[in-house]
Chains A and B, each alone.
Chain A
Amino acid sequence: MNKIFAVAGVVIKELYRRKDFYVLFVLTAVLTLAAGAVNFFHDEKIIRYVKDLCLLLIWVSALLVAIITTARQIPAEREARTIFPLLAKPVSRAQVIAGKFLGCWLATGVALFIFYFFFAIITGSREHIWPVGVYLEAAWMQWAMLAIVIAMVLLGSIYFAAPSSTNVISFIVVAGILLVGGHLNAIALSQPEPMQTVLAWVYFVIPHLEWYDLRDFVVYDLGTVPARAVALATLYAAVWTGIFLLLAWFGFRRKNLTT
């Protein structure tokens, strides 16, 4: 386990040395503050559009951080040939995969915490209420979803030729699932065969990332989702993360690392 944490520690250090997160955070902060400064009909109490925009930016930024950070992990180690001294130590390939995943997930978690802290400060200063439970639940669900995404990108980075292709394909897949994943069954019904069956299958075999989007509950002040549902969704995320990590390990185990 120590070896996994050691690999993860390197990934976390890499995140705060690179500028990706800082740029995204500053962009989110500037856009949110600019939106918050706009006065509509001389009403100081209007806040939901600011929350909406800020959460959207947090979602996009967190996805960017997660995907870009993860996609370059294994290819960068291979390109710099640092993978060989790493594996020459008593570190197995499974531990490398687990360490890389854990590092990316924890690093994204730190980024997410900072984003949500900023969000809570901005909204709290306008609304004068602090629904910490709602924010924590939304952040937790987003982090659980990012675990699936990170594991999926790690799997992609083993099979795709370059980090750029992994980034693009991962973005398309994740955005596709978030936007239409939950509606595929309805779309399938309006399609002729064999498309109907194909879409129905896709609907049942994809990870349903859209469940983890609790932005509406935060924006419209609708309270928390039942804890049981959150627990089950977390278990579902853990299962999908496990599936992707196992597939990544299968691929990485047989991968020829000399290019």
Chain B
Amino acid sequence: MKLSPLSLLVALLALAFTLATGLARRADNWSNRAKSDNVFGMLFGDGRKLFANHFFTMADVYFHSGYYPSVFDQGAAEQKEIIAASHGKKETEEDEKNENFLGKPKDWIDAFGRNFRITQHTHLEHQNEREMLPWLRLAADLDPQKIETYTVGAYFLREHLGRLEQAEAFLREGLRNNPDSCEILFELGRIFNDVHHDYDRARNVWQLGVRKFSTLPEQRQKDDKFVYEEFVVSLSHLERDAGNYALAIDWLRKAQKVSPVPGALQEQIDALQEKITSATPAKP
């Protein structure tokens, strides 16, 4: 039997179409990539998380205007300063000294080469913090489960750029992707408390955060006790400002259990006790 090339082509097309209709449903289950809700997930699969880490690091590099250790320098693996800044940590002289990763020039090539390298440790300021935002946005798109991206992004949007609505929207996006994240709940509570002055919502969000924290595995609780301390100290301040001194003391006592400086918290407790005592009318 002799087949013309045209008939052969038609037969092959028909076969391809038939196979496609049969296989399409099964092929959907072969990989999770196609189900991904963003283009990065579809392109890179789980490998996108590597890029997300890189882009988050790029945000820190931009924060330092390029003064950043390479993988070959000492201190390359230390905690990112944008994370520390988002937790309200102010840089001390000691920190500054530790971040001088360049040290003294090792030879004339190194010494001369420093003319062409950034050797000044600076941080972005005067609204230039906006330059980090593209990297944080990309990091969030690539790895929606990376919680620091949302907390750091929201912190800089709120504190340095004054964009409160965008900070809140970014945190809500993070919460949708990570419904159990205590860190995001804490930041969201700060926005309700500090910006909207909606103390009831702030209280609710922080209390929800404390409840979520208590459901974490024991090891995680030990590792993240700093977050717990932030919750309970903030709640104590909220109750103190609302005049609920007894509740404020309760929260401070909880904070004492995890705080590295329980003595300082004791002073606050004593001050609140005094207020309670002075507010109680003396018995005749």
Contact size range, B:
20 to 34
**Is A182 located at the chain interface by the 8 A CB criterion?**
yes
Alpha-carbon distance A201/B72, docked complex (angstroms): 18
A186 touches B73 (CB 8 A): yes
- Report A208-259 residues with CB < 8 Å from chain B CB: 208, 210-214, 216-217, 219-220, 222, 225-226, 229, 232-233
- A49 to B139 CA separation, bound complex (whole angstroms): 14
Taking CB atoms, residues of chain B closer than 8 Å to A183 are 70, 72-73
- Determine the chain A residues whose CB is within 8 A of the CB of B157 once the complex forms: 41
Partner among B62, B117, B137 whose Cβ is within 8 Å of the Cβ of A40:
B137
A204 at the interface (CB under 8 A from B): yes
Q: Which residues of A contact B62 (CB under 8 A)?
A: 48, 220
Instruction: Give A64-103 as 1s and 0s: 1 = Cβ < 8 Å from B's Cβ atoms.
Output: 0000000000000000000000000000000000000000
B215 interface hit (Cβ, 8 Å): no
Quick one: CB contact mask for B95-108 with A, threshold 8 Å, 1 for yes?
A: 00000000000110
CA distance A204 to B17 in the complex (A): 64
Q: Distance (Å) between the CB of B94 and the closest chain A CB?
A: 24
Chain B residue at minimal CB-CB distance from A38: B134
> Which A residues lie within 8 Å of B113 (CB)?
182, 208, 210-211
Q: In residues 1-42 of chain A, which contact B (Cβ within 8 Å)?
A: 38, 40-42
Would you call B30 an interface residue if the criterion is a C-beta within 8 Å of the partner chain's C-beta atoms?
Answer: no
Would A219 and B72 count as touching, CB distance under 8 A? no
Assuming the A-B contacts A41-B137, A220-B118, A229-B115, are A185 and B130 also in contact, with contact meaning beta carbons closer than 8 angstroms in the complex? no
- Mark out the residues of chain B between 136 and 167 whose CB falls within 8 Å of any chain A CB in the assembled complex: 137, 157, 163, 166
* Inter-chain contact A185/B107, CB cutoff 8 Å: yes
A45 close to chain B: CB less than 8 A: yes
B116 with A185: CB separation less than 8 A: no
Beyond A49-B135, A222-B66, 8 additional contacts (C-beta under 8 Å) are A40-B134, A48-B62, A182-B113, A183-B72, A219-B66, A220-B62, A225-B115, A225-B116
